[in-house]
A and B are shown apart, each in its own frame.
Chain A
């Protein structure tokens, strides 16, 4: 089983790589650069009302879950590997634990917040 975990994790990591590559740039641009109080279009169409309408779109909910969870897995899996390569290998266990804890918490809370409005 232990062996399978690595293959599966890599599968998730790889999926995350694609998701982040295709979806994250536009998300950052739309959410934080373009329609932003100090952004390029500063009229801020992300008013609370607009945001809630968008947020209640089930398609958008799905989009957020996929984007957030896989990007987290991808990003932290990668960074973890880099940490080991630059001398943090002795702390392999705590780092690995921490990384998967953050991924779990992040994914769980995304699910929670996205789905909570449904109930």
Chain B
């Protein structure tokens, strides 16, 4: 049998120059590009290149990574200007010039490592847990949920918190308080869950200018998502629900609510 590798053959170059944006908090006032030349191996991903540099050329290169298989969401970076998981991005596919930058629209701590504190806060702000008035004891068995009910939110529950959508979102860049794609999609995911009754509570948070109404549906969040979550749609649906809810509240007399 033959090796199933096609790309072994298409490898033309033996070496590649890779530009990595560096920033050293103790001595630099602003980031700069540093170029490394590394031997190119077949089917190398960008993360391999970074690991090669760290092990063999410059031990001080700093970046986050973990699982290597695109489920942990640690290794997001801007590769040639596009937000990507470096463990899933083949060097062959990105062309001749390879630049790796930290994710855009986040403060840079060091080299490719960014400060994600604000993201973690926003995530918790949307109350991503089941809200119920009464707690059901587990002895009573699980909640029933049909496959159709699961399908309503399953797609939106795939988020791996890689923050690529924040890196891609121009609103995140200008409006610091904007809750942002992943967190809003998460709130939508819980709203759609048949076990949850917290929609009103969450809408109070998300139906605001920092919430869904700050979004202008650029749609880049959805297109960069490595897990096919669709924050853009989730946000628009939240806008619609929030808006209809408000109109209903204003039109209906108080006691109906």
**CB within 8 Å of B: which residues of A?**
3-4, 6-11, 14, 78, 81-82, 84-85, 87, 89
Q: A10-B243, A11-B243 are in contact. Are A84 and B208 (CB under 8 A)?
A: no
Report the 9 A-B pairs with minimum CB-CB distance, sorted nearest first.
A7-B246, A11-B243, A6-B213, A81-B216, A7-B243, A7-B242, A85-B170, A4-B246, A89-B174
Tell whether B245 is near chain A: CB-to-CB under 8 Å. yes
Whether B167 is near chain A, meaning CB under 8 Å from some CB there, is: no
Nearest-CB distance from A92 to chain B (Å)?
9
Q: Does B209 contact A (CB under 8 A)?
A: yes
In contact, B209 and A6 (Cβ under 8 angstroms): yes
Q: Is the CB of B174 within 8 A of A6?
A: no
Chain B, interface SS category: helix
Chain B residue numbers with a CB within 8 Å of A7 are 207, 213, 239, 242-243, 245-247
- Do the beta carbons of B246 and A84 come within 8 Å of each other? no
What count of chain B residues pass the 8 Å CB interface test? Answer: 21
Taking A6-B213, A7-B213, A82-B216 as contacts, is the C-beta distance between A89 and B175 under 8 angstroms? Answer: yes
Do A3 and B207 touch across chains, with their CB atoms under 8 A apart?
A: yes
B204 touches A3 (CB 8 A): yes
Cβ of A9: which chain B residues have Cβ within 8 Å of it? 213
CB distance from B136 to the nearest CB of A (A): 32
Q: Which residues of B contact A (CB under 8 A)?
A: 170-171, 173-175, 204, 207-209, 213, 216, 239-240, 242-247, 249-250
Contacts of B174 in A (CB 8 A): 84-85, 87, 89
| A15 (CB) vs chain B CBs: closest residue | B243
Q: How far is the CA of A2 from the CA of B8 in the complex (A)?
A: 61
Residues of A contacting B240 in the complex (Cβ-Cβ under 8 angstroms): 14
Q: How far apart are the CA atoms of A47 and B170 in the complex, in Å? A: 48
C-alpha spacing A87/B213, complex, angstroms: 18
> Which chain B residues border A78 with CB–CB below 8 Å?
216
Contact between chains at B246 and A11 (CB < 8 Å): yes
* B171 and chain A: residue at smallest CB distance: A85
Q: A7-B239, A14-B243 are in contact. List 9 more A-B contacts (CB 8 A).
A: A4-B250, A8-B247, A10-B213, A10-B239, A10-B242, A11-B243, A82-B216, A84-B174, A85-B171
With a cutoff of 8 Å between Cβ atoms, the chain B residues found around residue A11 in the complex are: 243-244, 246-247
Tell me which residues across on chain B come within 8 A of A8, comparing CB atoms: 243, 246-247, 250
How far in angstroms is the closest Cβ of chain B from A49? 42
Establish whether residues A6 and B208, one from each chain, have CB atoms under 8 Å apart when the complex forms.
yes
Could you list some 7 contacts between A and B, CB below 8 A?
A3-B208, A6-B213, A11-B246, A11-B247, A84-B174, A85-B171, A89-B175
- CA distance in complex: A9, B214 (Å): 12
Q: How far is the CA of A87 from the CA of B216 in the complex (A)?
A: 15
* Closest residue of A by beta carbon distance from B213: A6
Task: Please measure, in the bound complex, the distance between the C-alpha atom of A8 and the C-alpha atom of B239, giving whole angstroms.
Answer: 10
Residues of A contacting B204 in the complex (Cβ-Cβ under 8 angstroms)? 3
What residues on A are CB-neighbors of B175 within 8 Å?
A: 84, 89
In the complex, chain A residues whose CB is within 8 Å of the CB of B213: 6-7, 9-10
Q: Are A6 and B207 in contact (CB under 8 A)?
A: yes
What residues on B are CB-neighbors of A89 within 8 Å? 174-175
Rounded to whole Å, the gap between the CB of A47 and the closest CB of chain B is 43
B150 to chain A, nearest CB (A): 29
Instruction: Give Cα A106 to B243, complex, Å.
Output: 24
Residue of A nearest to B239 (CB): A10
Complex Cα distance A8/B245, Å?
10
The residue of chain B having its C-beta at the shortest distance from the C-beta of A12 within the complex is B243
